[in-house]
A and B are shown apart, each in its own frame.
Chain A
Amino acid sequence: MQFIKKLLIFPLRDNTLCLVLYRNLKTNMMIDSQIKRKLRSLASLSLLVGAVSFSSCSGGSDQKSGISKTNPEDIKVVSEMVAELTAPPFVPKSTADRAATKLIVDMEIIEETGTMASGVEYVYWTFGGTVPGSFIRTKVGDEVEFHLKNHPDNKLPHNIDLHAVNGPGGGAVSSFVAPGHEIVFQFKTLNPGLYVYHCATAPVGMHIANGMYGLILVEPEEGLPPVDKEYYVMQGDFYTKGKYGEAGLQPFDMQKAIDEEADYVVFNGSVGALSGDDALTAKVGETVRIYFGNGGPNLVSSFHVIGEIFDRVTVEGGSLVNENVQTTLVPAGGAAMVEFKVDVPGELVLVDHSIFRAFNKGALGILNVTGPENKQIYSGTIQEGIYLPEGGTIQSMPVEDDQPAKEAVEMTKAEKMEMGKKLYGSTCFACHQANGEGIENAFPPLANADYLNEDVDRAIDIVLRGKSGEITVNGKKYNSVMTAQNLTDEEVAAVMTYIYNSWGNNGTEVTTEMVKKVRK
């Protein structure tokens, strides 16, 4: 009996495929009606399931690639609002709850003196009075009406290049403004992502080096997923006439900037901008997102948070997401979003892992995490003890003098040689070498050694109490340290007998009696 005869495949209108089970009841009509019914329902069910599963493949938004449902150019804007700009390290609230709008941004440029480090002053050129400049938060499809104002007391003309702009100079061509004046231009955000903005007036490097940079975020249509804490951190390199820490008002050094020899590499414009009272904060269990930018002008950042791993990194601020990242590369004039959940309390340290920049030039910030401990994730120090790297001989803490005196039985010379050889191999050999040859300029030889053969008691004393300072052995000077050896009298007698009876030495047999005498 053949009841499934053909499998028809034909395309539907929206290019999906629809599989149809075509039942062909050819001949024998003696099929049970129940089976018939079951087959019919099975066929229609599989048709339904097939149609549904195939149709959901197209038309929905692809979260991973950030492509929006609507072409950004076609997003209509119906209302208008004034953008909330924030000073670092804070960011404006999410745009998830609003539609694309006409967004009015009022940005003022101020040239002012500020503090770079304790005792060090610098003339900063700023967007909005801070370095980095105010954070601008937009959504894809927004039409941004950008008002750039150059304070009348400023000396220089400025403009702005926003990397989120599709247009000549990123807006720089249309925003060149003299002191005491204002200029307006407009652009539509088409690409979601985290972008840098900076001044682009000649000499561009100097304007950027003096602090004229910041970040503009273009959120996708649905907004970014919410997290507990969001922070704005931007790295920059600074070039001063004086070296790091030199006090006074430091002018910008163009030659050092050209040579890319930075004096300061800092987060948010100055040394210590994210520490002490200004440290970032979070509670155990919270998710943290850092919008991290790099204004440059020259250096690339190896951004890392000591004590944490980035659960998610949007690489270069775009749509590619990497996970479980320790250190992420952020190009000059670029950005990245990093997200992580803090699990245990403590101080997390934000650094540029080109590590001399963190400890010698200021690229260091603090994120203070408070809350309950979790010993399973991180236990802290469990135990400490002593470790002495002196080979197999057992080292121990000094013991109280309450051990009963053992009845001493002196070993025979042969026994001493055998035991001594073993002891030598585990205790002395590391420095004095297999055949007592020692190491040139480091550890003196024991083979045919005049220093050794001259004075047995002195040699015993050295084994018991160690030696430092200069000695001459076989005409060569040695100035090293020998540690005291924690051996019993018998053991000392044995190993020294072995040494004195090897490699051309004078054949002395050392007794426990002799050792005891020296030990006193």
Chain B
Amino acid sequence: MFSKFLTVVVIIFLSLISYGQKEGMALIKGGQYIPLYGTDSNIVKVQDFYIDQYPVTNAEYVKFLEDNPKWRKSNVIALYADGNYLRHFKDDLNLKDGELENAPMTNVSYFAAKKYCECQGKRLPTLDEWEYVGMADEKDADARTKDEYNKFILSWYEKPNSYNQEIGSTFENYWGVYDMHGLVWEWTQDFNSVLISGESRSDVDGGNDLFCGGAALGSSDLMNYAAFMRYAFRGSVKANYSIRNLGFRCAKSIN
């Protein structure tokens, strides 16, 4: 009798712990939306999940490197990370002078980012999950039609060197998540699932099967421009690329 009671207590305790141990993560209530590439009949559904409140920082990644020598600059396999990997480090474990510890970690490849998240018991967010969280501004869960929101994003695209700022320096959105826009681009689990040919003038050709509803992009919508540039960026990268303005954050599913 007592053992049964104990089991129940332990189960409750463990489940409480597993929920409570999402420190640094925000709970995102699932929902549905039409993404840039979707149409009315192609709504995307997102389940409840957790996402890091901040992008992963230089300091956090250094800890990962201490525990995982295989991912240090001198050891990493070229297949998993190209020549730009950790370019802002002066050696395997130390940043160059002038780099901030609490700036978002960049110059990491998709493979490195994925491995980092796995080591935390997490994963990279999917493209749909990332866009779902990204469409929020300070007040609204879906701010995509708001002028101010789009103008903020567009003006970030031309601000030089925004990567060397501390996390939390842009804005906190509706979900309590910081820096979805204004700091760095971010890797997603399936970044290349929506293909853009690079010839963006023919990308709006409605006949392109991989880009459903592409005809809708003929519009002069500011919203489309702001989002389109993220898709264009994702379309230009390969998994082993390391880029100065590209970082990541982790996510976690709810069982």
Residues of A within 8 A of B (CB): 111-113, 123, 125, 152-157, 159, 168-169, 172-181, 200-204, 206, 210, 251-252, 254-255, 258
Contact = CB atoms under 8 A, between A and B. Distances in A.
A252 B202 contact: no
B7 interface: no
A237 B180 CA distance: 32
Given A113-B160, A180-B87, A201-B200, 17 more contacts: A123-B158, A152-B84, A152-B87, A152-B244, A168-B199, A169-B202, A173-B197, A176-B198, A176-B235, A176-B236, A178-B237, A180-B241, A180-B242, A180-B243, A200-B200, A201-B198, A206-B154
A125 B243 CA distance: 18
A201 B87 contact: no
A178 B236 contact: yes
B21 interface: no
B222 interface: yes
Nearest to A152: B244
B19 interface: no
B228 A202 contact: yes
B93 interface: no
B150 to A, nearest CB: 8
B201 A169 contact: yes
Nearest to A150: B236
Contacts of B161: 153
7 contacts: A152-B84, A155-B160, A157-B198, A157-B237, A176-B199, A180-B84, A203-B225
B232 to A, nearest CB: 5
Contacts of B158: 111, 123, 125, 155, 210, 251-252
A153 B88 CA distance: 11
B75 interface: no
Nearest to A259: B220
| 7 nearest A-B residue pairs (beta carbon) | A176-B198, A157-B236, A202-B200, A178-B236, A169-B199, A173-B199, A123-B158
A65 B175 CA distance: 66
A75 to B, nearest CB: 28
A157 B225 contact: no
Question: Chain B interface mostly helix, strand, loop or mixed?
Answer: loop
Given A178-B236, A202-B232, A155 B245 contact: yes
B223 to A, nearest CB: 11
A255 B147 CA distance: 10
Interface string B121-163: 0000000000000000000000000000001001101111110
A180 B198 contact: no
Interface in B195-213: 196-203
Contacts of B13: none
A354 B222 CA distance: 29
A175 B199 CA distance: 9
B201 A178 contact: no
B234 to A, nearest CB: 9
Contacts of B232: 156-157, 201-202
B201 A153 contact: no
Nearest to B222: A254
B157 A175 contact: no
A389 B198 CA distance: 68
A123 B236 contact: no
Contacts of B157: 155-156
Contacts of A168: 199, 202
A254 B229 CA distance: 13
B26 to A, nearest CB: 26
Interface string B161-182: 1100000000000000000000
Nearest to B83: A180
A297 to B, nearest CB: 13
Nearest to B236: A157
Nearest to A158: B236
Contacts of A180: 84, 87, 241-244
Interface string B52-72: 000000000000000000000
Contacts of B242: 180
B198 A178 contact: no
B160 A112 contact: yes
Given A113-B160, A155-B245, A203-B225, A251 B155 contact: yes
Nearest to A169: B199
Contacts of A123: 158-160
